Structure 1
């Protein structure tokens, strides 16, 4: 493992608004360096209006190899990429961007695949489950696609922004065999409930679902990483539900982020 930095160290930014809650600077830097990559992940707090300028500035910095993208920039990031994976195009968002051989930005979206991997590691097999997904943002869209790929029997979407919800529903209708339904804050009848919004990150946030209607057989997940045990997860555990915190998602997504960026530093075959 590399244990020193120098002027030759390659830079990967992680960009968000806010940014103080993210764990990727250490969580991605460590395995990259353990794999022999002389690279470091640096947090950048960037407002939405400034994101295009930030991407343009990074393009002009030869020692910047990529940008990890978090809330609320994942949709906007795809439009700033020169190319992207088919999954990223289908979802309409990117959470990982790296420099291509030609110097442009190449994007991918691995939140959904990582989330499903995290669920399975936590003992929840999505196949055949009736799922309620709260949130149709970048992470929610990726998770929705991955749940369809994983074989859920039904998928209901609950999103306060009706236009955003319908946009995701239209993508899913064209994407796979599961026809999405309109969900609500009532989790009754579902055996997989996932919060893919930032609700629970700030003190005083409302709970994303009516927790009193959860039953012990329901698996409850939440993408929030700070606090470590978000209010939704704490309430679900009190009711006897199996759960996965944002840390479970982060660990699985981190593995995919590391692989995505290691492709820059592996010797050419």
Structure 2
């Protein structure tokens, strides 16, 4: 692909801490250029304490049209937008922000993307029992999407007890599934999802007891490497899997359409 890059190029950012692991700069730039948009996506490594100041500076850029948000800023950035979608408001988290003359509009696609990736890889969610590790920005969205996709039960494993219990209460208020606190033992579940950053660094522990996985389980991940220790263990146990790269492909398309103001 021949890249158009000149003084008229529109700029998009992906902001996070760390940022080296993200695939968005290449993938989103390719999506923009393929759509005939003279735009590029650039990584921005911003610490949590500096996020508000950085966002205030970006607001003054006249050639910036939007940004994507990754760990650990998805919850904080919900409060920096002028308007957020109903889904983002329920979750209090965003992963993409579109700039316009009317302000910054935030949306959250992580949950929808994870569900799309699971289904595309052959998972059945309707009426199934799921357990998920992580209740941060992405984890909150994925838990919500699993419930709305029709799982009968969802157990949530999260070290921040207050965050976990708050999410459980909100999801149970929907009346769609039984949601409760889980453990690192995945026994008895049909769907087992890692929605934590575990696997981004060498030597990270597994999010669940991998020896308890069985071939009947379907395993998902959010970490955008093809073979994390979690996915490798799941495959060794005979499980079918959906990788973080599968989720990334889905979320990339959803975010590109949103930023280019297409229906999603």
The TM-score range, normalised by the shorter chain, is over 0.9
Q: Deviations over 1:176-198 (max 9, x none)?
A: 42131110000000010000000
Distance 1:62 1:176 in 2: 45
Q: Which deviates more, 15-24 or 173-182?
A: 173-182
Does 2:32 match 1:32?
yes
**1:245 maps to which of 220, 243, 246:** 243
CA contact (8 A) 1:158 1:182 kept: yes
Partner of 2:111: 112
Q: Deviations over 1:118-167 (max 9, x none)?
A: 11111112111100010000111000111011100110000011011012
Consecutive unaligned residues of structure 1, counting only runs of 5 or more, are none
CA contact (8 A) 1:133 1:156 kept: yes
Does 2:33 match 1:21?
no
Distance 1:152 1:256 in 2: 23
Distance 1:127 1:258 in 2: 28
Query: After the TM superposition, which parts of structure 1 deviate over 2 Å for at least 4 consecutive aligned residues?
Result: none
Q: Secondary structure at the match of 1:263?
A: coil
Partner of 1:262: 260
Deviation at 1:67, TM superposition (A): 1.3
Distance 1:254 1:56 in 2: 25
Does 2:42 match 1:42?
yes
Partner of 2:183: 184
CA contact (8 A) 2:185 2:212 kept: yes
Partner of 2:137: 138
Distance 1:208 1:8 in 2: 45
Partner of 1:77: 77
Distance 1:61 1:174 in 2: 41
Q: Secondary structure at the match of 1:254?
A: helix
Aligned CA-pair RMSD: 1.3
Partner of 2:162: 163
Distance 1:129 1:37 in 2: 42
Normalised by the length of structure 2, the TM-score is 0.97
Q: Deviations over 1:193-232 (max 9, x none)?
A: 0000001111111110001111100001110113x21101
Distance 1:238 1:166 in 2: 33
